[in-house]
A = this chain, B = another copy of it.
């Protein structure tokens, strides 16, 4: 029995206490300043405001000002803050994290280094933390993880021993952990599936707006999304088979059933201007991770094409998403052209 600290008391951070506690670990759950209300409710013994479930026994909550105390004594620290905050949070806690053996990130997405270059989140963490980072991918709705329902994920990192240690801390009969040596593949899939979920959400919105089914369109978008995630992953040094597993195909499958990325697409599909839909959904400070991922992914692809590393036009669906989100391109025609090559 050891102690594990989770940074971020959102849905997924809090949910991960379930497998950890099932393995007998003490869990320290630390909330950022955005989690103040959540921490207050949990501290008072109430259910998590979003998950709706009470805190897993064996979990201690820590407010934003008690990070050092929350981290002290933990070998493994889990990063579960919103992706755009990872750099700032880990940078601020660098001194407290110096002794930690390994970090596990369930946050996913891209950010930039101080020179403006695009990094995957393990790279962002690596700017101030020098130990091994393990990336988590795969289809995980937090409420199901919290409830202990069957969930299969992949833990990936360049340090097999850290991957094994972290996987062992989390793996339970209900929380199955595959190990992988391809963190790039996992991170690219984890980030980009949110982007592509917007496209499939648009098909849902077209159905809502017209009353006409668009199952064939939606299903045709799916393998194209997986293919393009594979191209981006291999371009960045990851593997296609990682994308075709739990981290890409699996996570895309769950991401298109609900959530804010799908919802952004749905609203665009119903005819709402993309900028207006995105602005309305990001009110209150929450970000739509897929919207940012379209921008980062498209920038990576554009640079790769300019450098001759990817063929022009090899990511038509990502081009279509960028045109729809930032250029106001008509959703149905633009998505369909990505499939039909018109």
Contacts and interface: CB of A to CB of B under 8 A. Distances in A.
Interface of A: 138-141, 143-145, 147, 149-152, 173, 176, 212-220, 222-223, 226-227, 244-246, 248-251, 253-254, 257-258, 332, 336, 339-342
Contacts of A222: 249-250, 253
A325 to B, nearest CB: 20
B144 A216 contact: yes
The listed residue with most B CB atoms (<10 A of its CB), out of A138, A143, A220, A246, is: A220
A213 B142 CA distance: 11
B139 A214 contact: no
A218 B254 CA distance: 8
A132 B145 CA distance: 51
Contacts of A141: 213, 215-216
Q: Is the interface of A mostly helix, strand, loop or mixed?
A: helix
16 contacts: A140-B216, A141-B213, A141-B216, A144-B212, A149-B214, A150-B216, A150-B220, A151-B217, A151-B220, A176-B220, A215-B254, A215-B257, A216-B254, A222-B253, A223-B246, A253-B253
B176 A339 contact: yes
Given A150-B217, A219-B250, 13 more contacts: A141-B216, A147-B212, A150-B214, A150-B336, A152-B220, A176-B220, A218-B253, A219-B251, A222-B249, A223-B246, A223-B248, A223-B250, A227-B245
A219 B254 contact: yes
Contacts of A226: 244, 249
A253 B253 CA distance: 8
Nearest to A138: B220
A244 B246 contact: no
Contacts of A145: 216
Given A336-B150, A340-B176, A144 B223 contact: no
A148 B176 CA distance: 43
A216 B218 CA distance: 20
A262 to B, nearest CB: 12
A218 B245 CA distance: 13
A151 B218 CA distance: 9
A76 to B, nearest CB: 22
A152 B212 CA distance: 17
B144 A220 contact: no
Contacts of A253: 218-219, 222-223, 253
Contact of A220 (B218, B250, B258, B336): B250
